[in-house]
Amino acid sequence: MRTQQTQSSGDLVSQDTKHIPVLLQEVISVLKIGKDDIVFDGTLGGAGHTFAISKLLSDKGVLIGTDLNSKALKIAKKRLDEVAPKLILEHNNFQNIKSILKKHSIKNIDKALLDLGWSSDHLDSKKGFSFRNNEPLDMRLGDMESELTAKDIVNTWKEETLADIFFYWGNERYARKIAQEIIKARQTSEIQTTSDLVQIIKKSVPAYYKKKRIHFATKVFQALRIAVNSELEVAKNGIREIVDVLNPTGRLAVISFHSGEDRLVKKLFKEFEKNKIGKSVFKKPITASEEELKNNPRARSAKLRVFEKYE
């Protein structure tokens, strides 16, 4: 799935970002971007996908990008400074697409992209996204959202609720035991850092679990990030709003990174089909090639689904 005008993902990594866009060539191929299209990237990040998309648009095209993080927007603006299409960057949540379009007197869009995964740059944000660094338990993706942090969750939420989010949003098989140990630990002292939490998880799981390829804390950290940022609810609202403003034959590409996200996207697309709004372009999600996996192991869990609106 290659187009003549795109570059390799390696060429699209700016010195200001460590993030490599996943499924880049596939996204470009399936969106079928016209040179005068209005294209919306709701998860701008380091602008890897967006930069490639900009190369396909003429000066009559429009490129709209949103991100919750002001630092990401500054990086994106720098990378996209001299692109041909009209550029609109907003420090906003993609679920607010209708108000964003209204602000700029735009009624509908032709193509849209959502990359629901978190950027590699978040690992350096000092917000506790990585269990490999000792940082405060924050995990807020943006700098304009809810005051809720991961620290709040582990220190105040009930055992049953903690176990549920670890199990359903992290697919953590030892969710109940980990929740029990968190409750026990916080009775002695507040859980403040990523290292505090990792040590609790380590005590909660059996020895063999600590030797698996995936780090034993991965799933709990994933579940907490989803909870802090209301990611599934935001994704659901955002996808509905984006599909509503798509022009006839317009396309939406969504990249997800865990089963909960992918189930949500699949369910919504089926709902849209049932209501005769449009159709899934492919029956099964597109996944990364072996070539991409060699250069970017993070792409291993990525799944791309594509929706097309009826005429």
Note the pLDDT tens digit of each residue in 257-269: 988 999 999 999 9
Res 184 pLDDT > 70: yes
Res 37 pLDDT > 60: yes
Rounded-to-integer distance, Cα 196 and Cα 93, Å: 31
Res 16 pLDDT > 60: no
- pLDDT reported for residue 8: 39
Q: What is the mean pLDDT of residues 154-166?
A: 98
Q: What is the mean pLDDT of the chain?
A: 90
- pLDDT reported for residue 132: 87
- pLDDT reported for residue 120: 55
- Cβ atoms of 52 and 253 within 8 Å: the answer is no
- Cβ atoms of 265 and 305 within 8 Å: the answer is yes
- Tell me how crowded residue 193 is: count the other CB atoms within 10 A of its CB: 16
Helix (H, G, I), strand (E, B) or coil at 64: strand
Per-residue confidence at 7, pLDDT binned at 50, 70, 90? very low
- Cβ atoms of 201 and 185 within 8 Å: the answer is no
Rounded-to-integer distance, Cα 295 and Cα 23, Å: 12
Q: What is the mean pLDDT of residues 7-20?
A: 48
Rounded-to-integer distance, Cα 53 and Cα 4, Å: 12
Closest CA to 127 of 142, 145, 144: 142
Full-model pTM: 0.87
Per-residue confidence at 14, pLDDT binned at 50, 70, 90? very low
Write out the DSSP string of 225-275. HHHHHTHHHHHHHHHHHHHHHEEEEEEEEEEE-SHHHHHHHHHHHHHHHHT
Q: What is the mean pLDDT of residues 140-158?
A: 87
Choose the most confident range, by mean pLDDT, from 1-15, 114-128, 244-258.
Answer: 244-258
Per-residue confidence at 127, pLDDT binned at 50, 70, 90? confident
Question: What is the C-alpha R_g of the chain?
Answer: 20
Residue 50 CB partners (closer than 8 Å, separation 6+): 41, 44, 63, 65, 76, 80, 113
Rounded-to-integer distance, Cα 22 and Cα 209, Å: 28
**In the chain, % of residues over pLDDT 70:** 90
- The crossing angle, in degrees rounded to 10, of helices 159-170 and 218-229 is 100
Q: Which domains does the chain have, with CATH numbers?
A: 9-121+231-309 (3.40.50.150), 147-228 (1.10.150.170)
Res 188 pLDDT > 70: yes
Strand partners, 64: 40, 88
Res 243 pLDDT > 70: yes
- pLDDT reported for residue 15: 44
List, for residues 195-234, the tens digit of each pLDDT value: 999 999 999 999 999 999 899 999 999 999 999 999 999 9
- pLDDT reported for residue 46: 87
